[in-house]
Amino acid sequence: MKINCIAIDDEPLALRQISDFIRQTPFLEIVAECRSAFEAMEVLQGEKNVDLMFVDINMPDLSGMEFIKTLKSGPEIIFTTAYSEYAIEGYKVDALDYLLKPIDYTDFLKAANKAKIYFQAISKTNGNQSDEENYLFVKTEYKVVRIKLKEVKYIEGMREYVRIHLENARPVMTLMSMKSLEDKLPPENFMRVHRSFIVNLNKITTIERSRIIFDKDVYIPVSDQYKEKFQEFINKHFI
């Protein structure tokens, strides 16, 4: 498989280096070289299919981080920058990886291979997925893991991270916002009941005093903000 890429950097030498690295990597294909976020926008609005963007964070007028935040959806991202303090912020927008300048080809190839594994996993799932077997792929501990949605009991928000609690397996921690994860979950099966909790509606067995009880010792509160919607779900299934 070929991964179509664009490189975005306002520094000509840095842009040329990333572009050359892309051309040097057999499974990557360079689609465009952009000197600004605005040029990248034009590419994304065109007819060319883009899977992956190598984006410099520090650019004038519109930074790479600001550019990514303007996109409702789009290609996967690998950030490039000379400043290490942007790493956590990069993962908040679900970047696949983060390359610190000066970049050598070894580090570039590691990030590219991570992207390759991610796209292969997504492609395999799209080819085999059935209505009974739905998955999510999440980044955790420097790898991408597949999680069966039917095995998720509830999801707990922990500042920049979320902890996905599973049946018969250890919880999975991933650097992602609750809102981002909520948007990826099927609403017929998952509901946010609190600022810090999303529950699998199919796993609920006991509700007591506006609390959902899991495993007899886990009490998840239903906050006022979500109480009406949750009550509608109960009423729909109440006998």
- Say if residue 130's pLDDT is above 70: no
Contact 80, 63 (CB under 8 A): no
Model confidence over 155-201: pLDDT tens digits? 999 877 899 999 888 999 988 888 888 888 888 899 999 999 999 99
Model confidence over 2-27: pLDDT tens digits? 899 999 999 999 999 999 999 999 99
Report the pLDDT value the prediction gives residue 230, as an integer from 0 to 100.
Answer: 92
Residue 125 has a CB neighbour count (10 Å cut-off) of 15
Nearest to 18 by CA among 56, 59, 72, 49: 56
Class of domain 3-127: alpha beta
Report the pLDDT value the prediction gives residue 132, as an integer from 0 to 100.
Answer: 45
* In the chain, where the domains are located: 3-127, 135-236
Superfamily of domain 135-236: LytTr DNA-binding domain (2.40.50.1020)
- Say if residue 48's pLDDT is above 80: no
Strand order in the sheet with 206-207: 206-207, 211-214, 218-221
Report the pLDDT value the prediction gives residue 49, as an integer from 0 to 100.
Answer: 87
Report the pLDDT value the prediction gives residue 129, as an integer from 0 to 100.
Answer: 47
Within 13 A of 171's CA, how many CA atoms are on the CB side? 13
Give me Rg for the CA atoms of the chain: 21
